[in-house]
Structures are given as structure tokens and as C-alpha cells.
Amino acid sequence: MPTESDVMVIGGGPAGLTAGIYLARAHLETLVVDSGAAGGQMILSSAIANYPGVPRITGRQLALAMRKQAESFGCRVESQAEIESLSLEGPVKEVTLAGEGAFTARAVVLAPGGRPRKLGIPSETAFEGRGISYCATCDGEFFTGEDIVVVGGGNSALEEAVALTRVARSVTIVHEFDRFQAQPWAVEEARKNPRIRFLLAQDVREFRGGDHLEEVVLASKRTGDETVLRARGAFLFIGYRPNTAFLDGLAALTARGEIVTDEALRTNVPGVFAAGDARQKRYRQITTAVADGTVAALGAVEYLTALERPVWPTWQASNVIELAPAMVVH
């Protein structure tokens, strides 16, 4: 694999793949690297119905189509690429991938996306795949006829809770705040479902069980009183966090770890642009990621074009050409 590119795109979700399409189509040597499977969070969607022009498609299908489109223009896409080191300063950017060596580029588009946020309590890891899940579509059927808990208060939590009532005996929605962040229609749909009950202003303290999850321990945020719920499953939908730990000290990040950009999606580092869910912004959708990828790629093209443009000579007396009268046009 060639080790030099014009532009390297870090992240192969919709933002990164869109950037790859635009960059490769501009005849720039483009390498897209992703630490997981190309497609990013998009492949977590079993049905996408709000991507314009495509009435209904799975996340995997859309990811595959975007990847093929990028590759058809000559973009190289490397999945499962673990970044060992990264240097963004100076005119040549360098990334070292585990087992692959060093790769250089003159510009970089950062599109590392995000991943499901976890509670961060020790017992959570112990029961992942044994009762704790982050995907209702994938794992819901394992809890047929069981009592389960859904943790979270956004659209995903409430929509998935409703979906899980098709298999579970009961669903308890546990949320840390005393009101939901979800859209009113999602709250309404959950509230009118007789199999769903709500426990608000609760912290999840612990998951307990043997081979499999058996209990979820909660604590009231108001009183500190503990509640122990019998539950065979717990589905966590508590938002996403940006995959930007590797950028600490290399590019400006917000306190939440989001990449800071200007309107042209330039970061604080010359030649480094950012796009997608890892960027500081209000709405995180496939469509906004695609838009970001476009803007960042066009910015990178403009940046590289400016680098290659011959610099106009410094204006000095010796540069002045005396025009003969015949050359003067009135």
C-alpha cells in the first residue's frame, strides 16, 4: 500500500466516506482509515428512512454503497486500522498504524465519529453480552418474556423501549434526570404503552447476577434511597461520546472532547479539517455528517490548491516593468 497521500481521512463513517468521495473525485490521492468497520455508527441502524432520495435502507447497505462509491473514484479505505501515533503539525502530517507503518499526507480530515456512551461502572463490563446490550434490534429476542430495563432519556432510549415491549414482559425506563430529552412524540408513545414504567432521577449504581444479569441497583438522586430491580436484561442508550482521545494535545477540543472547527470546518491546525459526529455541533445525523464531509473535503482541496499556487513575488523596484506606450491599453 502506498504510504504517501494528498489527504488522509481519519474515520470511515458517512462523514469520512463522503470526504473520500469528494477528494478522490478531485484527483487527490486519498486514504481513509477507520479503527473499526467502515460505516461508523451508521451500521448500527437497522433501518434508515430519512436519507433524502432513499426511502428505506439499512445502515450496512448505505455504508457499503458509500464505500464502493469512494473506492470507484480511487479512494483507498482501510478498516480495522489502529492508530499508534499521529503528528498533525507542519506541512506533512504523519500517522502510524499498528502493524502497517507510517503514512503521510499534506492535509487531514478528522472524522473519527463517536461510540455509545457507557455508564462506566465496573459491573457494566462484566455483564456485556450477558444481559447488558447496546442494540435492541440485535439482542431483544434473547429477553423474550423477561423483565428488562432501558437506561436513558433520549429518542433512542424511548423508541427502543417501545420496540422491546414486543418481546419483553415489562420494560422499566430508568433516567438520570426528572424529565426526558426525547422529542414529545417519543415520550407520548412510551407513556401510552402499558408495558412500560418509568423511574426518573435515578443513578444506576450496580449490575448484579451470576452467569447472567439478574438485578439492577438504582439510587434516587433526590434521596439516595436504593431500589433493586429484578431484570434479565439492561439496554443502555445514554448517548454517544466522540472518539477523540487520540487527538488530545494535537487539536483544539471542547470540554466534552468534541473537535472545535470554524464554519469552513478548519481546526486550529493548518491543513487539518474536521467533519461528522466528533465535531462540536448541534445535530448529529447521517445527513449532517455527509454535509460535513463535503465541506471539509472541499476545504482540504482549497488548502492544497493554495499550497501549490506560485507565490507572487514580493513587490520590489526591480519587479517594476516599464510599459512602452504601445502596450498601454486605454
Partner 1 sequence: MLETNLKHVETVQEFDTLLAENDKVMICCGRMGPMCLPVYDVMEKLEPKYAQVAFRDMDFDSPVARETIRRLPQVQSFGGLPFTVYFRDGKLMQATSSIQTKQQVTAILDQHLA
Where in the sequence numbering do the catalytic residues fall?
Answer: 135, 138-139
Q: Measured from the CB atom, is 134 or 273 closer to partner 1?
A: 134
> Under the criterion CB under 8 A, does residue 163 sit at the interface with partner 1?
no
- Is 133 near partner 1 (CB under 8 A)? yes
Residue placing its CB nearer to partner 1 in the complex, 142 or 246: 142
- Binding test (CB under 8 A) with partner 1, winner from 69, 123, 137, 193: 137
- Work out whether the CA dihedral 311, 314, 318, 323 comes out positive or negative: positive
Q: How far is CA 48 from the centre of its chain?
A: 16
Given 5, 18, 45, 288, the residue binding partner 1 (CB under 8 A): 45
Is 245 strand, coil or helix? Answer: helix
Site for partner 1 in 233-272 (CB under 8 A): 233
Instruction: Tell whether residue 48 is a contact of partner 1 (CB under 8 A).
Output: no
By the rule CB under 8 A, 211 interacts with partner 1: yes
Distance of closest approach, residue 50 Cβ to partner 1, in angstroms: 18
- b/e per residue, 292-322, with b = 16+ CB within 10 A? bbbbbbbbbbebbeeeeeeeeeeeeeeeeee
Please check whether residue 244 is in contact with residue 257, taking contact to mean a CB–CB distance below 8 angstroms.
yes
128 binds partner 1 (CB under 8 A): yes
Q: What one-character-per-residue DSSP string does 62-74 give?
A: HHHHHHHHHHHTT
Nearer to partner 1, 143 or 180 (CB): 143
What is the C-alpha radius of gyration for the chain, rounded to an integer number of angstroms? 25
Binding footprint of partner 1, residue count (CB under 8 A): 32
Between 48 and 107, whose beta carbon lies closer to partner 1? 48
Cell of 240: 454517544
Per CB under 8 A, residues contacting partner 1 are: 36-39, 43-46, 59-60, 79-80, 82, 99, 128-135, 137-139, 142-143, 211-213, 232-233
